[in-house]
A and B are shown apart, each in its own frame.
Chain A
Amino acid sequence: DIQMTQSPSSVSASVGDRVTITCRASQGISSWLAWYQQKPGKAPKLLIYAASSLQSGVPSRFSGSGSGTDFTLTISSLQPEDFATYYCQQANSFLALTFGGGTKVEIK
C-alpha cells in the first residue's frame, strides 16, 4: 500500500498567517491527491482534488501544489473558520486508497 506522511502533525498559527502543510507519498502518485478539512464532530470536506484543483465553493485562499511524491496545501491568510484538521488522500489506486495522518491547525 502507498503510505501518506503529513507534516507537521500540528501547527499553531494566528489569523492572517500563511500556513503550509506537506504530504509525502511512499511512491509516485502523479497528481492523484486530494485534501480534506475536518472540524470536530463533523464530516470531512473536500478542498482540493487532482493535487491543485479547487473544489467548487472552497475559498481561493486554499491552494494545492505538487506531483509525484511531494505535495503541499497552503492557506494564504488563515481565517478563524480554518482552524481544523487537514488530511491528504491518495487516489492512485482503488486497490488501496489511503489518507495521511492529519495536521491539526490550532490557534496561536
Chain B
Amino acid sequence: QVQLVESGGGVVQPGGSLRLSCAASGFTFSSYGMHWVRQAPGKGLEWVAFIRYDGSNKYYADSVKGRFTISRDNSKNTLYLQMNSLRAEDTAVYYCAKDPGTVGYMDVWGKGTTVTVSS
C-alpha cells in the first residue's frame, strides 16, 4: 500500500542542524511532487516546502527560506529536509506528504517525526 515513513527527528539546540528523511513505498515516487508540512504543539498546520517530481523546482515558506533545503533521491525513493540554523519556533511534528500531481494538495501523509529545538 502507499506509505510514507518519516525519520530523523530529535532534540537539537538552537542554531543546530537536523536532516529529516521520508521513505516512500507503494507508488512511483519519481512521478510525484512532495511536500513537507509541520505542526507546532497545539497549533495548526503550516506548509514548509515543496519539490517537483524531478527536483527541478523547489518552493519554501518564508519562515524557513534560506535555512531549510528540500531535496529528493528518486533512486532511493526518499525525500529529505535539511534544517539549519534551527530556532525554538521550528519545534513541531514534521510530516511529509505526497502531491497527487503538481497541484498543491496533499493526498497521502506520513505519521510525522518530532523535532524539538531547545537548549
Q: Does A pair with B?
A: yes
Please tell me if A87 contacts chain B, counting CB pairs below 8 Å.
yes
B104 & A97 in contact (Cβ 8 Å cutoff): yes
CA distance A96 to B59 in the complex (A): 8
Nearest residue (CB) in B for A4 is B44
Interface of B, secondary structure class, is: loop
- Min distance, Cβ B94 to any Cβ of chain A, angstroms: 11
A99 & B44 in contact (Cβ 8 Å cutoff): yes
| Given A44-B45, A87-B44, A99-B46, A55-B107 contact (CB < 8 Å) | yes
What is the number of residues of chain A that contact chain B, defined by CB distance less than 8 Å? 26
Nearest residue (CB) in B for A6 is B44
CA distance A44 to B95 in the complex (A): 9
| Given A98-B47, A99-B44, A44-B106 contact (CB < 8 Å) | yes
Residue-by-residue, is B46-71 near A (CB-CB < 8 Å gives 1, otherwise 0)? 11001000000101011000000000
CA distance A38 to B111 in the complex (A): 12
A97 & B45 in contact (Cβ 8 Å cutoff): no
A45 & B109 in contact (Cβ 8 Å cutoff): yes
| Given A43-B95, A43-B111, A99-B45 contact (CB < 8 Å) | yes
CB-CB < 8 A to A49: which residues of B?
A: 100, 103, 105, 107
Name A's B-contacting residues (CB within 8 A).
1, 32, 34, 36, 38, 42-46, 49, 55, 87, 89, 91-102
23 A-B residue pairs with CB within 8 Å: A34-B105, A34-B106, A36-B45, A43-B111, A44-B95, A44-B109, A46-B107, A49-B100, A49-B103, A49-B105, A55-B107, A89-B105, A91-B105, A92-B104, A93-B104, A94-B50, A94-B104, A95-B59, A96-B62, A97-B47, A97-B50, A97-B104, A102-B45
